[in-house]
Amino acid sequence: MPDASLPFSRRLATALYAAALLVTAPPGALAQSAPEPAAIGFDVPAGDLAPALRALASQAGIMLTFTPEQTAGKTTAGLKGRYGIEEAFARLLAGSQLQAARQSAGGYILRAAEAATLSAIRITGNAAEPPSQDTGAYTAGSSKGATGLSLSLRETPQSVSIITRQQMSDFQLNNINQVLDATPGVVVERVETDRSYYTARGFNITTFQEDGIGAPFAHGLVAGDLDSAIYDRVEVVRGANGLLSNTGNPSAIVNFVRKRPAEAFQASAGLSLGSWNTRRLEADVSSPLNASGSVRGRVVAVGQDGDSYLDRYHSDKRTLYAIFEADVSERDTLSAGYTYEKNKTRGQLWGGLPLYDSAGMPTHYGRSTNTAADWSRWNTETQSAFVQAVHRFDNDWQAQAVYTHREIRWDGRLFSVSGLPDPVTGLGVSGLPGSYDTRNRQDLVDVRASGPFDFLGRRHEAIVGLNYAISRVQGQSWNADPIALPPLQAWDGDVAEPAFDQDGGDARFIDRQRAVYAALRLSLTDRLTVIGGLNALQARSSGQNYGTKRDKSDSETTPYAGLVYDINDWLSAYASYTEIFTPQSEVNAQFQQLEPVRGRSYEAGLKAQIFEDMLATLSFFKAKQSNLANFIGMSGDLALYDGTDVKSQGVELELAGSLTERLQLVAGYTRLSLQDAHGAYTRPYTPREMFRLSATYRVPGLEGLKLGASLNWRSRTYNEGNALPGVRIAQPAYALLNLMARYDISRQVFVAVNVNNVTDKKALTSRYWADQGYYGAPRNVLVSLNWKY
């Protein structure tokens, strides 16, 4: 793959400059080149739909006609921000099956939603769900994450958690690790400073999507500190779902929903300063690009750098996102987008600290202890471009085609440690220098059609589609002689950088996936709906990965079934089932690639709409997987695995939404059991119990003041040593408490303070790796000043 860093750097500089001009230009100057539709400042609280509609009409100065029967039992997430009238209606009515129609004599009338009009196209024509930005809500009205059909969370027969733009803003969840830390039921395994695993229900999350399109990573390992600024929300669908992800992994699917252009001009900028010289500058500009608003664009730019509580660690991150949409007709919308992200780190932790000594006793370090040499560095660069075409038919059907190209490059000169320290002298640990250069090119295509149909006097829905994904990996590594180290407690990273003249091997392999999928949502009665679907997958891997041959082809058709029964107007029961089929890339002791994982997954539960705008979900789940990769040791630099059977079962409880007009809340509790084929306790590094809470409160009498807190508690975890079998190093149960305060100086400007790890708890970030780990951040503070228009 040719090195395109110089051209892209020039493009980045140009786009950042353009974004800065847009942010600083007066609205009048922008209007001269791109007159926008009239935008109005709205502030409509969440709650019952009828008073919300009256508030919108009053703030817009328009007449709206509707009947009590139309809005009975319906709620809304509210509306806050500057919008055109028609976009404001579309956002407020999202998920209600209603729309506001403009009358020839003036005013608007509420009626049942029909085929998309031009105004609706600007919100839903891109096949996306209504955005969460500016709603002020901690939940969303609907999601396509489970089935590809637009279903409310109560209509979805699986557990769904949504981290909205408001929650990300309130708690400064600026990267994906922080977002998933706040997600009920998800464990972020920070094995190193810049690489993490994610698990749910005891298994690795391997499928990450953008706008519902993606392909599974082989190991669920994410490199780099992915920024969340470009996303409107993050959806996590827990449980097995091979319908859209192709592989029925019973953990979860993580879907990152990109920001989209707004109908009217809007802009925001933020400056944050924090502990360890952290600095962050963020700008977000969206505007119509012609008088009618049929062409729209949006640019998001982020720059962040800072030191760390870890010795010698420094990071520098740049992110750029641009998207353009055009309504080429009343039925057709074209979109194109580009993302560039570059993370440069120095003193990156590669591996971790030895957690026990040669006598099998726990070691002790300060939180700032870092194994990295002072010359260590790790750079990641990701470039992604996509194009999307959407066509709406007369019968309310919609067709969508998406192509995504992504290029990822990792390169670094790193320094890990090996060996166990002597309990008296602290000696016996060696440093292992390594140089790495890896490139990954991905191409993804997805074509689908969805819509309603009538049968036996009832309306049903269907979706059918196909996708293709190819991933090409090229990697090379070089090593140098091991270096004896002093006790790590006194290690300052001062060592000469070696020549890296020893060939460490290379990787050149290609993974391909082809799939066809279809699903039906059948309305059998007014209370009972049934969903059934199939995914036919072909997966092929070829090439070699650092001396291990990859030459395997698998195919399977996996079914999906679900049902939802409305017990009454506020309570529903649901159940779902899917089969599990997941190709694996790990190798066994004979250096043969493992056979695919197979199994079954079940889920059942209750969903209740309480306190008007709060969804409560109680779910029971059970999954069994056969031949799941289980680490058994190393052969040189190659990890070896065998296949094992694992059974997962448990219960989850989640609350999300508004308890009152002033109180937003997301809370989740998980209790989990994991057993091997013999019924024995397995995967002890996974917490068996977790509790997550994020809540904010608008203080009465001080309308500009918002206070909030988040709590992340997990039960005891441990792992048993590989270097010394039988050694057990545990992390006791602990909780991390974060606090926030925000004050609105005006409608356009607010200041916020976030304090993380308020109690200054010292805890290991993960017990996922048996022999090594490191400690999480101590108490830290971030102060931000934000402006929006």
Residue 223 pLDDT level (bands cut at 50, 70, 90): low
Q: Which neighbouring-strand residues pair with 235? A: 162, 255
CB 30 within 8 A of CB 22: yes
**Least trusted range by pLDDT, from 249-253, 584-588, 784-788:** 584-588
In a domain, 10, yes or no: no
CB 283 within 8 A of CB 303: no
Q: Give the number of other Cβ atoms within 10 Å of residue 775's Cβ.
A: 19
The pLDDT, as a whole number, for residue 109 is 82
Dihedral sign of CA atoms 286, 288, 289, 295 in order: positive
Determine the pLDDT at residue 122. 38
DSSP E strands: which ranges in 243-294? 252-258, 266-274, 278-288
Confidence of residue 14 (pLDDT cuts 50, 70, 90): very low
Q: Is residue 410 part of a domain?
A: yes
In a domain, 351, yes or no: yes
Q: Pseudo-torsion of CA 189, 191, 195, 200, nearest 10°?
A: -20
Q: Answer with the residue of higher pLDDT: 738 or 119.
A: 738
Of 104, 110, 112, the C-alpha closest to 64 is: 110
Q: pLDDT exceeding 90 applies to what percent of the chain?
A: 64
Say if residue 556's pLDDT is above 80. Answer: yes
pLDDT at position 128, please?
55
Confidence of residue 312 (pLDDT cuts 50, 70, 90): very high
Listed range (127-131, 207-211, 768-772) with the worst mean pLDDT: 127-131
Alpha carbon of 7 to those of 10, 339, 383, 405: distances in Å? 5, 14, 12, 17
Look-up: residue for tokens 């817009």?
Answer: 60
DSSP state of 770: S
- pLDDT for 576 beyond 60: yes
DSSP for 477-527, written as a single string: EEE---EE---GGG-----------EEEEEEEEEEEEEEEEEEEEEE-SSS
In-domain check, residue 394: yes
d(CA 44, CA 56) in angstroms, rounded, equals: 6
Backbone angles phi, psi at 30, to 5 degrees: -65, -35
Q: Is residue 21 part of a domain?
A: no
Residue entry with tokens 């009832």:
458
What value does the mean pLDDT take over residues 348-360?
Answer: 95
At residue 87, the pLDDT reads 83
Q: Which two tokens stand for residue 399?
A: 């067709």
pLDDT score of 401 more than 90 = yes
pLDDT at 344: 95
Contact status, residue 780 vs residue 274, Cβ threshold 8 Å = yes
Residue 22 pLDDT greater than 60, yes or no: no
Residue 166: its pLDDT value, please?
A: 93
In whole angstroms, what is the distance from residue 515 CA to residue 465 CA?
Answer: 8
Q: 612 forms bridges with which residues in the sheet? A: none
* Integer Cα distance of 740 and 784 in angstroms: 11
Q: What band does 13 get if pLDDT is binned at 50, 70 and 90? A: very low
- When pLDDT is averaged across residues 453-471 and rounded to a whole number, the result is 93
φ, ψ at 759 (rounded to 5°) = -85, 0
- Domain-embedded: residue 594: yes
Q: How many domains does the chain have?
A: 1
For the chain, how far is it from start to end, CA to CA, in angstroms?
42
Please state, in angstroms and rounded to a whole number, the distance separating the CA atoms of residues 229 and 227: 6
pLDDT band at 637 (very low <50, low <70, confident <90, very high): low
The CATH number of whichever domain residue 375 belongs to comes to 2.40.170.20
The bridge status of strand 689-698 relative to strand 663-676 is antiparallel
Domain hosting 621: range is 258-506+513-788
Q: CB of 335 within 8 A of CB of 385?
A: no
Structure confidence at residue 216 as a pLDDT band (50, 70, 90): low
Q: Classify residue 198: in a domain, yes or no.
A: no
702: CB partners within 8 A, 6+ apart: none
Residue range 582-587: mean pLDDT, rounded:
83
Q: Is the pTM here over 0.75, yes or no?
A: yes
Using a pLDDT cut of 70, give the percent of the chain over it. 89
